[in-house]
Homo-oligomer: A and B are copies of this chain.
Amino acid sequence: MSAHHVVVVGAGFGGLETVHRLAGAPVEITIVDRRNHHLFQPLLYQAATASLAPSEIAWPIRQLLRRRRDVTTLLASVESIDKAARELHLDEGSTVRYDTLVLATGARHAYFGHDAWEPFAPGLKTLEDATTIRGRILLAFEEAERQSDEQRRAALLTFVIVGGGPTGVELAGTIAELARDTLPTEFRRIDTRHARIVLIEAGPRVLPAFAEDLSNYAKDALEQLGVEVVLEKPVSECNADGVVFGGQTLAAATILWAAGVQSSPAAQWLDAPADRVGRLKAEPDLTVPGHKEIFAIGDAAIVLRPDGREVPGIAPAAKQEGAYVASVIRARVSGAPAPLPFQYKHAGDLATIGKRRAVIDFGWIKLKGAPAWWLWGFAHIYFLIGVRNRLSVAINWLWIYARDQRGARLITWWGGEVEGTAPFARAGQADQDGSQARRQGTS
């Protein structure tokens, strides 16, 4: 192809937005992702807690882009980048040349030097993570139903969530509802309402990005749901027995990690400057220093606002960055002057705490309780990309709302446990390199 070739790596919110905003521009586009699907990450915790099915929050990338004849979708992993030759080396030995490269490769959860905790405390970033967590939560109740030892049963009915950001708060609230509202009538030997759900946050309050009164409301709402909220207690150990924080040990079979992320290896591909968690330093025009033809956006990049604060790692920010990059590319290929530096507009923060409770912080207005929850629900259904999925998600939510039944409570071997390893003490298979989702070389 002789047209200017834009290669986008990563079909998350940022990468897809770049592609969408380049519609009609005189460029050829290739989008590369190691998964075949775009994932609606803000609802991933619902897949992890059996409220939504994986296919309700993920869509094939090439289906989303099927009408764009200028876009080629490749299912592939990047192995390395040759900046001089402007070439991307993919697995299986194939090579893609670019004129402009957009790195929108996202992040994984991270353990900050405690990678040994991962088998005991899986994090939540991919569909596989979600089904792993779903399987663990459901299996803990199944185990408890069969268990005659009181102490072990108590550990099986103890769920610890590490990290009090939106993901941790949403997981804790939903697990509490599962135990309190969905499961009680189904078990004969245990009372699932006695399950302990413990949310541990190292800082002084949950939802630290929100206004303080919303944090306090969220804590109260969690406690009303029966969640124990532990603040200012960093976790010092996760293992097969449970979790250690503030000098005390809590026996727990299920520990979920919602305490931090690590960027993709994009900085290593480029041998470029990155921060502690691996995010590429981005210039004001979102290019990588010294390489005007390479952009870094979303969770793969650290972008500073004029006042020195970081642009947050949330979907709307990634989309704004994707749109900005498209505008820069458009200006370049048409010879127009470069746009002004990227400016982030913070729309607000949202988090739900179970049914009928949510907090929304728009800055100029703060909402909490039922109105916030309904607004959150409508906003998320609106933002879901597929029309059919919107309807299906709406039906599922109304069903849960009305009947407390959850539609996706499957334990399958991929969400379950692996033979020959100790219970609740194995590496989540999904935590292995996601490139497993791809097959090895055939060429």
- Whether, in the assembled complex, A429 has its beta carbon less than 8 Å from a beta carbon of chain B, the answer is yes
- Whether, in the assembled complex, A92 has its beta carbon less than 8 Å from a beta carbon of chain B, the answer is yes
Pairwise interchain contact B146-A54, C-beta atoms closer than 8 A: no
The segment from A264-272, A347-355, A403-411 found at the interface with B is: A403-411
Bound: A389/B414 CA distance, A? 22
The listed residue (B69, B405, B414) touching A388 by CB distance below 8 A is B405
Pairwise interchain contact B411-A36, C-beta atoms closer than 8 A: yes
Known: A142-B36, A388-B395, A405-B63. A440 touches B411 (CB 8 A): no
Pairwise interchain contact B437-A422, C-beta atoms closer than 8 A: no
Pairwise interchain contact A419-B399, C-beta atoms closer than 8 A: no
- Whether, in the assembled complex, A236 has its beta carbon less than 8 Å from a beta carbon of chain B, the answer is no
Residues of B within 8 A of A262 (CB): none
Known: A53-B53, A53-B56, A127-B412. A148 touches B67 (CB 8 A): no
How many residues of chain A get a CB closer than 8 Å to chain B's CBs? 82
The listed residue (B55, B67, B148, B189) touching A53 by CB distance below 8 A is B55
Pairwise interchain contact B128-A185, C-beta atoms closer than 8 A: no
Q: Which residues 387-443 of A have a CB within 8 angstroms of B?
A: 388-389, 391-392, 395-396, 399, 405, 407-414, 416-424, 429-430, 432-443
Known: A142-B36, A416-B438, A442-B143. A407 touches B55 (CB 8 A): yes
Bound: A94/B420 CA distance, A? 18
Instruction: Give chain A's interface residues, CB within 8 Å of chain B.
Output: 35-37, 53-56, 58, 60, 62-63, 65-67, 69, 71-76, 92, 94, 127-128, 131, 138-139, 142-143, 145-149, 152, 156, 185-189, 386, 388-389, 391-392, 395-396, 399, 405, 407-414, 416-424, 429-430, 432-443
